[in-house]
């Protein structure tokens, strides 16, 4: 007999998640206590430089972490209150697709090159829902239609390489929605696309999230992309969330020097034409994370105490939080 | 695709003419006297030689001879041996045996090679992996005649599990051990090719997607991984079938199988030009068609390949 989850449990919650990669080159501490959650009908953007652990977190949630070399050493992932990290492989497989689904950055490599897109969408309906080939095929057309693919009835028979980049990502989205999941993780879904197409895909995701009342986790390293679609933003650095706030608050008043630097690095309309300013310094080597605040080697505000004390993600007034020892001083009211 | 196949078939015509002419030239124009040794220990009587040379038009220009041969060939007439047997009948008796032996060898290569390759490709470095690596190395290193004689001696003569030689009927059951011998080298290649291909594709994004879709491990491997990994393997098997269809002189010799390999071997020894030409021409055609089949198969297996 299982203990019924509390009624107010979040849709999906990650807490204190630690993941290491044990390779010949040593142990890389890739996640060092990730905390975030998403509720039905809202969009959480996860933002951070490349290598900060966004994808590893998402893969761990989905249960598709490459293991070995990846090992979860601590923490929890709960879906509607149910702990997933200790669940059986069968249970986790049941949840994939049906309750949580994921779309990836490069749809060309993420879709199987030798099968038609119709086959790849209908496959889940046939194997998981026991639908007939014909019904599943019809449903695949509907799904392609819903994600805005013109002439869906003909295009189900095409292979992934016959689509443009944007259309291919739409196919990927249609496939992820086949079993009506209530959590959708989009791992940099627009990074490989042109700017105009990026906006269209973002709009589509926002629309589908609202229509289906899903929880959307939108992973990106591009602050500009998320401003319009995200409700809340979690900023990630060296395998931890260093700042968390609603979009408006975060943009107008970043409370962590890293977020501040990220915001400075996006080109704005008024400074158009000037070069994109990269954040100074390099992300830490995850096999040797500096003691104290992991950001201190790059932080313009760093003082001696930052080299010794590891700042916790602390709650600030207004429901936001930051992992900087001096966050209080950065909040403007 | 249809137009591509048609174009390739048209291209086959000059290739066919060129190669068959070359064969004809090699067989009829070069080897000196085809009647040396035909009449026992003594040289053949002049009257006999003159009659035969006239009958086989050997004094005509070689191009004229070839044109006549081709004309007959197009009508399905492969000509006759010097003692009057129809070459067509010889081929009709031998070729089905060769085809059966080739199919048995191919099946063994495909089933055992693929299975060993998939199992080891999924778990490289394990006990099974090492076992397969060593045994395939063994098969690759040992010449076919050794495998053949060893199996014939052990299974046929010592244990009496099989008949040491194959009966003239050469049924599928009798051909299993010879087929294994004939296919053993390619079986080892298939195992290694599959292993590499599976190990490479195992970490691809589309396999990760298949897992993320909640498919069973069996389906992820059996449908998504295998379908992609099989492309180079199936292509290899297609090419291999092309060469298996050319007969197997050594294996046929060991097990006394009356296939096309033995036929060609014997007719070269006895200078039966008509038989040699006939068989080789047939093998060229089969080989060319098999190559075309492989190219078509490749496009069918990998939809990214477009010939048009
Ligand atoms: N399969 C793997 N083996 C070893 N290291 C890995 C593997 N996958 C990810 N990592 C490491 O984990 C870190 C975080 O990766 P990732 O989550 O992909 O970053 P991102 O935030 O860009 O998505 C990186 O330093 C990367 O090198
Ligand atoms: S704790 Fe110190 S080093 Fe870390 S972000 Fe805050 S000021 Fe910078
Ligand atoms: Mg990533």
The verdict on the CB of residue A296 being under 6 Å from ligand 2 is yes
Q: DSSP H helical segments within B75-168, as ranges? A: 87-122, 127-141, 144-151
pLDDT digits (tens, 9 = 90+) for B77-98: 888 887 788 888 989 889 999 9
Contact assignment for A123 to B303 by CB distance below 8 Å: no
Residue nearest to atom 3 of ligand 2 (CA): A296
> Is residue B268 domain-resident?
no
- In this structure, is residue B10 part of a structural domain? no
Q: If pLDDT is split at 50, 70 and 90, which confidence band does B305 have?
A: confident
| Separation CA B35–CA B53 (nearest Å) | 9
CA atoms of A158 and A154, how far apart (whole Å): 8
**pLDDT score of B36:** 66
Cα separation, B249 vs B265, in Å, equals: 7
Name chain A contacts of B219, Cβ cutoff 8 Å: 127
Ramachandran angles phi, psi of A26, nearest 5°: 125, -175
Peptide bond into A139 cis (omega under 30): no
| Ligand 2 centroid – CA A294 distance (Å) | 8
Ligand 1 atom 20 nearest Cα: A51
> Which CATH number fits the domain that encloses residue B111?
1.10.3720.10
For residue B227, how many other CB atoms are within 10 A of its CB? 16
In a domain, B289, yes or no: no
Q: Please answer yes or no on whether B215 and A123 come within 8 Å at the CB atom.
A: yes
In angstroms, what is the span from residue A285 Cα to ligand 1's centroid? 12
Cα–Cα distance for residue pair B115/B12, rounded to 1 Å: 36
Q: Does the beta carbon of A15 lie inside 6 Å of ligand 2?
A: no
> Which one-letter DSSP state was computed for residue B245?
T
pLDDT of residue A275: 45
DSSP B80: B
Angle (CA) A120-A121-A123 rounded to 5° is 65
Angle between helix A117-129 and helix A165-176 axes, rounded to 10 deg? 10
Q: Look up the pTM and report it.
A: 0.85
Could you tell me the distance, in angstroms and rounded to a whole number, from the CA of residue A188 to the centre of ligand 3?
7
Tell me: pLDDT of A1 over 60.
no
Q: What is the band of B281 on the pLDDT scale with cuts at 50, 70, 90?
A: confident
B209 belongs to a structural domain: yes
Residue B23 banded pLDDT, cuts 50, 70, 90: confident
Contacts within 8 Å (CB) and 24+ apart, A283-286: A283/A49, A283/A50, A283/A51, A283/A52, A283/A237, A283/A238, A284/A238, A286/A28, A286/A29, A286/A30, A286/A51, A286/A238, A286/A239
Tokens of A152: 């869906």
Judged by DSSP in three states, B86 sits in strand
pLDDT class of B129 with cuts at 50, 70, 90: confident
Q: CB B215 to CB A112 under 8 A?
A: no
Q: Has residue B282 been placed in a domain?
A: no
| Ligand 2 binding pocket includes A323 (Cβ within 6 Å) | no
Distances (CA, A) of A132 to A159, A174, A331, B86, B117: 21, 19, 58, 57, 33
Q: Is A51 in the pocket of ligand 1 (CB under 6 A)?
A: yes
Q: Is ligand 1 within 6 A of the CB of residue A84?
A: no
Contact B47, B55 (CB under 8 A): no
Domains in chain B: how many in total?
Answer: 1
Cβ of A313 less than 6 Å from ligand 2: no
CA atoms of B170 and A285, how far apart (whole Å): 68
CA of A58 to the centre of ligand 3 (A): 9
Judged by a CB distance cut-off of 8 A, whether residue B211 touches chain A is yes
Q: In this complex, is the C-beta atom of B216 within 8 Å of any C-beta atom belonging to chain A?
A: yes
Residues of A with Cβ-Cβ distance to B215 under 8 angstroms: 123-124, 127
Give the nearest ligand 2 atom to A299 CA.
8
Atom 5 (ligand 1) nearest CA: A21
Average pLDDT, integer, range B218-226: 95
- Kindly report the protein residue whose alpha carbon is nearest to atom 4 of ligand 2: A293
Query: Under DSSP, is residue B285 helix (H, G, I), strand (E, B) or coil?
Result: helix
- Position with higher pLDDT, B115 vs B51: B115
C-alpha A291 to ligand 1 mean position (Å): 21
Check pLDDT > 80 for residue B43. Answer: no
Nearest CA in chain A to B228: A114
The number of C-beta contacts closer than 8 angstroms across A and B is: 67
Contact (CB, 8 A) for A183 and A215: yes
Nearest-CA residue for ligand 1 atom 6 is A21
Nearest residue in B to A63, CA atom:
B212
Write out the two tokens for A328.
């209080």
Partner residue facing B224 (CB), from A62, A94, A112: A112
Greater model confidence, A179 or B144: A179
Whether A193 and A169 have beta carbons less than 8 Å apart is answered as yes
A113 touches chain B (CB under 8 A): yes
Mean pLDDT for chain B overall: 86
CB neighbourhood size of A187 (10 A): 22
CA A269 to centroid of chain Cα atoms = 27
Q: Residue B125: inside a domain, yes or no?
A: yes
User: What region, left, alpha or beta, does residue B306 occupy, with left being phi > 0 and alpha being psi -120 to 50 degrees?
Assistant: beta
Please write the tens of the pLDDT for every residue from A308-333: 999 999 999 888 999 999 988 888 86
**Nearest ligand to the C-alpha atom of residue A56:** 1
Q: Which residues pair with A244 in a beta bridge?
A: A234, A321
Residues of A within 8 A of B209 (CB-CB) are 104, 110-112
Report the alpha-carbon distance of residue B16 to residue A268 in Å, rounded: 69
Q: Are A251 and A227 in contact (CB under 8 A)?
A: yes
Q: What is the mean pLDDT of residues A214-220?
A: 95
Q: Minimum-distance ligand to the CA of A290?
A: 2
Nearest-Cα residue of chain A relative to residue B300: A114
Distance from C-alpha of B102 to C-alpha of B104, rounded to nearest angstrom: 5
pLDDT, residue A278, reads: 65
In which domain, by residue range, is B98 found? 89-261
Which one-letter DSSP state was computed for residue B45? Answer: P
In a domain, B72, yes or no: no
Check CB contact under 8 Å for B228 and A66. no
- What is the per-residue pLDDT for A274? 44
Q: Is residue B295 part of a domain?
A: no
Tokens, residue A325: 């020892």
For residue B231, list chain A residues with Cβ-Cβ distance below 8 A: 114
Contacts of A94 in chain B (CB under 8 A): 214
Write a three-state SS string for chain A.
Answer: CCCCCCCCCCCEEEEEEEEEEEECCEEEEEEEEEEEEECCCCEEEEECCCCCCHHHHHHHHHCCCCCCCEEEEEEEEEECCEECCCCCHHHHHHHECCCEEEECCCHHHHCCCCCCHHHHHHHHHHHHHCCCHHHHHHHHHHHHHHCCCCCHHHHCCCCHHHCCHHHHHHHHHHHHCCCCCCEEEEECCCCCCCHHHHHHHHHHHHHHHHHHCCEEEEEECCHHHHCCCCCEEEEEECCEEEEEEEHHHHHHCCCCHHHHHHHHHCCCHHHCCCCCCCCCCCCCCCCCCCCCCCCHHHCCCCCHHHHCCCCCCEECCCCCEECCCCHHHHCCC
* ipTM rounded to 2 decimals: 0.91
For residue A322, report the distance from its CA to the centre of ligand 3, in Å.
23
């Amino acid at each position: 007999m299982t203990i019924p989850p509390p009624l107010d449990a979040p849709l999906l919650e990650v807490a204190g998640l630690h993941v290491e990669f044990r390779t010949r080159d040593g142990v890389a501490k890739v996640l060092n206590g990730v905390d975030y959650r998403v509720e039905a009908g809202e969009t959480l953007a996860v933002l951070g430089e490349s290598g900060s652990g966004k994808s590893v977190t998402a893969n761990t949630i989905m249960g598709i972490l490459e293991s070995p070399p990846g090992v979860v050493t601590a923490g929890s992932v709960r879906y509607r209150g149910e702990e997933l990290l200790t669940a059986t492989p069968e249970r986790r497989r049941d949840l994939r697709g049906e309750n949580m689904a994921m779309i990836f950055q490069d749809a060309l490599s993420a879709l199987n090159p030798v099968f038609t897109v119709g086959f790849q969408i209908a496959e889940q309906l046939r194997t998981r829902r026991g639908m007939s080939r014909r019904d599943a095929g019809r449903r695949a057309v509907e799904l392609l239609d819903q994600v805005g693919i013109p002439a869906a009835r003909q295009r189900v028979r095409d292979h992934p390489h016959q689509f443009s980049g944007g259309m291919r990502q739409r196919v990927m989205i249609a496939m992820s929605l086949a079993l009506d999941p209530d959590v959708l993780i989009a791992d940099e879904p627009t990074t490989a696309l042109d700017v105009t197409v990026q906006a269209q895909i973002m709009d589509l995701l926002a629309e589908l999230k609202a229509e289906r009342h899903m929880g959307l986790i939108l992973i990106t390293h591009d602050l500009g992309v998320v401003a319009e679609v995200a409700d809340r933003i979690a900023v990630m650095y060296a395998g931890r969330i260093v700042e968390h706030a609603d979009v408006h608050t975060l943009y107008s008043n970043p409370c962590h020097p890293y977020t501040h630097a990220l915001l400075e690095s996006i080109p704005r309309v008024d400074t158009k034409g000037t070069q994109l300013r990269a954040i100074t310094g390099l992300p830490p080597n995850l096999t040797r994370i500096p003691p104290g605040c992991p950001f201190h080697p790059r932080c313009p505000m760093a003082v001696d105490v930052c080299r010794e004390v590891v700042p916790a993600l602390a709650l600030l007034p207004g429901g936001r939080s930051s992992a900087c020892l001096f966050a209080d001083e950065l909040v403007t009211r | 695709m249809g137009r591509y196949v048609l174009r390739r078939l048209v291209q086959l015509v000059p290739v066919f003419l060129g190669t068959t002419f070359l064969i004809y030239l090699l067989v009829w124009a070069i080897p000196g006297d085809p009647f040396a040794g035909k009449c026992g220990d003594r040289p053949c009587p002049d009257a006999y030689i003159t009659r035969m040379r006239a009958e086989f038009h050997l004094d005509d220009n070689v191009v004229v001879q070839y044109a006549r041969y081709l004309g007959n060939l197009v009508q399905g007439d492969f000509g006759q041996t010097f003692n009057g047997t129809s070459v067509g009948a010889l081929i009709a008796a031998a070729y089905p045996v060769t085809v059966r032996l080739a199919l048995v060898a191919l099946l063994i290569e495909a089933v055992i090679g693929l299975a060993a390759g998939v199992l080891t490709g999924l778990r490289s470095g394990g006990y099974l992996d090492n076992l397969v690596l060593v045994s395939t190395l063994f098969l690759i290193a040992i010449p076919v005649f050794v495998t053949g004689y060893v199996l014939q001696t052990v299974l046929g003569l010592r244990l009496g599990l099989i008949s040491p030689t194959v009966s003239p009927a050469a049924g599928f059951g009798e051909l299993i051990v010879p087929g294994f011998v004939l296919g053993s080298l390619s079986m080892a290649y298939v195992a290694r090719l599959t292993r590499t291909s599976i190990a490479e594709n195992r970490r691809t994004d589309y396999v990760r997607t298949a897992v993320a879709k909640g498919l069973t491990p069996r389906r992820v491997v059996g449908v998504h991984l295998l379908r992609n990994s099989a492309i180079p393997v199936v292509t290899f098997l297609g090419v291999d079938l092309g060469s298996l269809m050319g007969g197997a002189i050594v294996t046929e010799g060991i097990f006394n199988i009356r296939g096309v390999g033995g036929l060609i071997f014997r007719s070269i020894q006895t200078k039966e030009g008509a038989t040699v030409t006939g068989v080789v021409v047939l093998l060229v055609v089969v080989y060319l068609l098999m190559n075309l089949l492989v190219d078509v198969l490749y496009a069918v297996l990998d939809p990214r390949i477009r010939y048009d």
